[in-house]
Amino acid sequence: MTNLAAHAERIARHYWGEPNAKLSQQGRTLRWGTNGSKELDLQKSVFYDFERGSGGGITQMVREYGKLGISGSVADVLERDFGIQKQAQKALEPKQYIQRIYSYFDTDGAEAYQACRLYPKSFRLRQPDGRGGYLYSVKDIEPLPYNLPAIIQNPDEPVFIVEGEKCADALIEAGGLVATTNHGGSGKWLDTHSKHLAGRSVIVLPDNDQAGRTHADKVIASLWGVADRIKRIDLPGLEEKGDVADFLSERTLDELMDIVRQAPVVTAQPEAGDEVPAVEDADGNEIVPFETLDQDAVWSMPPVEFLVDQLLPESAFCMMYGAPGTGKSFLAIDMALSVAHGTEWQGFEVKQGSVLYIAGEGVGGFGKRWKAWSKHKGVTDKAPLFVLPLAVNFMDEDEMTRLMLTIDRLDQRFAMVVVDTVHRSMHGAEENSAAEMAKFIDACDAIQRHTGGTMLAVHHAGKSTTQGARGSNSLLGAVSTSLAVGKVDTQVVLKVEKQKDAEPIEDGLTFNMLTVPASISETSVVLERTDEATQRNRAALNFEQQIALEALRSALIDKSAKSVHKDVWHAYHNAKAPDETGGKRRDARNALQKKRVIAIENNMCWVINELEENV
């Protein structure tokens, strides 16, 4: 079970107690209560409370069931009551979950379909499948007014028509009024809704915006000659886009009813408005328009964040290309392992995260490359790097579905996905075709959106690196970053060809290819950066780190050894910096390892450059 799921289960048990074992599914779903009225999806770490009709992620659970105190801060409660540090809390929210379910019933009182409000803001419709589950399609079902049983059971009561289930529920909860709406928001009221209100007294309450007013005209036009009498109430005092729920949050139900009683009956049928007609997909779900950003939103956007500083942006589509034998896969593996371990990459800071490496070429040598890298860096801990040891055809929908399922089953928040190579992932497609390359780009974009991480495509160069990446130029146009890999004599050279949202590094980076042991019987190549910037970075040690390095060098000299046990180093360090706290000394030693100035393996320590010079 992942840490994410563990947090969700622990918090749910804290608020709800022990789950109902009979109704729960081990490793998948926990349910509480005799009838399973509360549910926790362990794989997505989201809950749903069927009695309240609400749900969400971990923070929403705390918001609804926790004691927030004076500050009202969910972050404070998570840290205080559950030990979840604030900097880790952003990762606790799932990408999408059901916030609320609105059920629509037919004239017999049976549930016909549901409108599910999802986070982030969107809706999906679904109908019962007859086996206890749901089908996400309502294309063969006639739209119904919300709260239809109450309309039928109270034939003499006026019916309040609002925009949205939230507003209908606000009227129902405020005073037991008979309230209804249509699913899908403004512009979706149809004559099929109106027929259920034949001969009734109707009050239409528009939202306070142009779309709401146009929707009210459409509702009244549809009810004209069907309902007995119609009133339209444009509520006073509402802010732009305000609604009746906002009105009731500030004023009383009695005030609302006084306004209704004093309002005149509509005496003329309104003309049909010029609203933009709602559009549905084949399953009957509304297609929502794209959201746009105004000046304030654009100007307040945060700066670009990097996964590998100055090279690979976070949550971006990037490319690295070069001719065969130039070392591009070595560079990609080097970057992937650095991200997975959270260690510097060749002098550049990285952000740690899980990595998926789709090794379509050369998977046979991946193991020894990984071992050699770990030995050379002095890294012994297990990294969250997952290798998919075969090529996935990005042009095939079934294989893409299988890949997405694989990503979901791994249950990781991938900071990086590497596809090595583009050619192996375009099986049977023509790289020079802009249309075929567009399909590959769409597939990469889908993976990037699905994971939220950075997508790195490893690609071949044309006839020479100077002629750019092989195939259609649409790939270069689509990526945020393009890195060109070449070779000068025995050195690997990396140049930033394109950096869309930041200033590119002007000078190329150069690397030596060092042959190092991977095991007793195997060797492999690792890359060691050789340009002047690397030397400057390694020299840029603060005072505490310099003292720690001097302590290790002193120990090596005194022992006449190439390496010493870490306890020996610690003792020398304590003697050189007796006034420092143990925590500061430890931080300085860890910094030297992250900067790859020193290495540690099997508790033995050495200075990396000095040992290599003596070998």
pLDDT at residue 364 above 70? yes
Q: Could you give phi then psi for residue 536, rounded to 5 degrees?
A: -65, -40
When pLDDT is cut at 50, 70 and 90, the band that residue 314 belongs to is: very high
Summarize the confidence of residues 34-38 as an average pLDDT. 84
Buried-state track 441-474, b at ≥16 Cβ within 10 A, e below 16: bebbeebbebbebbbbbbbbbeeebeebbbbbee
Least confident range from 157-166, 222-231, 319-328: namely 319-328
Between CA 268 and CA 270 the distance in angstroms is: 6
pLDDT at residue 155 above 90? yes
Please enumerate in sequence order all residues whose Cβ is within 8 A of that of 396, keeping only pairs 6 or more positions apart, or say none.
427
Between CA 184 and CA 289 the distance in angstroms is: 13
pLDDT at residue 216 above 90? yes
Residues for the chain: how many in total? 615
Q: So what's the pLDDT on residue 277?
A: 53
CB atoms under 10 Å from CB of 379, counted, come to 20
Token output for 314 = 């976070």
pLDDT at residue 243 above 70? yes
* Residues 429-447: tens digit of each pLDDT: 999 999 999 999 999 998 9
Quick check: helix, strand or coil at residue 353? Answer: coil
Summarize the confidence of residues 93-115 as an average pLDDT. 85
* Residues 317-342: tens digit of each pLDDT: 999 999 888 899 999 999 999 999 99
Q: Could you give phi then psi for residue 437, rounded to 5 degrees?
A: -65, -35
pLDDT, greater one: 4 or 493: 493
CB atoms under 10 Å from CB of 108, counted, come to 9
When pLDDT is cut at 50, 70 and 90, the band that residue 427 belongs to is: confident
Q: So what's the pLDDT on residue 466?
A: 59
pLDDT, greater one: 119 or 219: 219
Summarize the confidence of residues 548-553 as an average pLDDT. 90
In the predicted model, what is the mean pLDDT of the chain?
85
pTM of this structure: 0.49
Q: So what's the pLDDT on residue 96?
A: 65
Between CA 53 and CA 523 the distance in angstroms is: 60
When pLDDT is cut at 50, 70 and 90, the band that residue 507 belongs to is: confident
Residue with tokens 């000299």: 557
Summarize the confidence of residues 23-44 as an average pLDDT. 84
Gyration radius (Cα) of the chain, Å: 31
pLDDT, greater one: 425 or 598: 425
Q: So what's the pLDDT on residue 532?
A: 53
pLDDT, greater one: 54 or 1: 54
pLDDT at residue 448 above 70? yes
Quick check: helix, strand or coil at residue 608? Answer: helix
When pLDDT is cut at 50, 70 and 90, the band that residue 533 belongs to is: very low
Residue with tokens 């492999």: 524
| DSSP β-bridge partners for residue 456 | 318, 418
Summarize the confidence of residues 506-525 as an average pLDDT. 84
Residue with tokens 């007793």: 520
When pLDDT is cut at 50, 70 and 90, the band that residue 610 belongs to is: very low
When pLDDT is cut at 50, 70 and 90, the band that residue 424 belongs to is: very high
Quick check: helix, strand or coil at residue 35? Answer: coil
pLDDT, greater one: 310 or 298: 310
Q: Between the CA of residue 75 and those of 11, 46, 59, what are the distances in Å? A: 13, 17, 8
pLDDT at residue 452 above 60? yes
* Residues 62-102: tens digit of each pLDDT: 888 887 765 567 777 887 788 777 656 655 666 566 778 89
Q: Are 395 and 429 in contact (CB under 8 A)?
A: yes
pLDDT at residue 486 above 50? yes
Q: Are 387 and 366 in contact (CB under 8 A)?
A: yes
When pLDDT is cut at 50, 70 and 90, the band that residue 615 belongs to is: very low
Token output for 305 = 């964040």
Between CA 433 and CA 318 the distance in angstroms is: 20
Q: So what's the pLDDT on residue 103?
A: 93
DSSP state of 86: G
CB atoms under 10 Å from CB of 73, counted, come to 14
Between CA 218 and CA 269 the distance in angstroms is: 10
pLDDT at residue 59 above 60? yes
User: Residue 284 — left, alpha, or beta (φ > 0 → left; ψ -120 to 50 → alpha)?
Assistant: left
Summarize the confidence of residues 577-584 as an average pLDDT. 87
Q: All domains of the chain, ordered by start, with CATH?
A: 3-95 (no CATH), 131-262 (3.40.1360.10), 306-531 (3.40.50.300), 541-614 (1.10.10.10)
Q: Where are the alpha helices (DSSP H) in 360-504?
A: 366-377, 397-410, 422-425, 434-451, 474-478
User: Would you tell me the crossing angle of helices 74-82 and 58-65 to the nearest 10 degrees?
Assistant: 90
pLDDT, greater one: 135 or 438: 438
Q: What percent of the chain has pLDDT over 90?
A: 42
When pLDDT is cut at 50, 70 and 90, the band that residue 244 belongs to is: very high
pLDDT at residue 458 above 90? yes
pLDDT at residue 3 above 60? no
Residue with tokens 């990408």: 95
Q: So what's the pLDDT on residue 457?
A: 96
pLDDT at residue 614 above 60? no
DSSP 106-142: -TTS-EEEEEEEEETTEEEEEEE-SSSSEES--TTS-
Between CA 611 and CA 593 the distance in angstroms is: 15
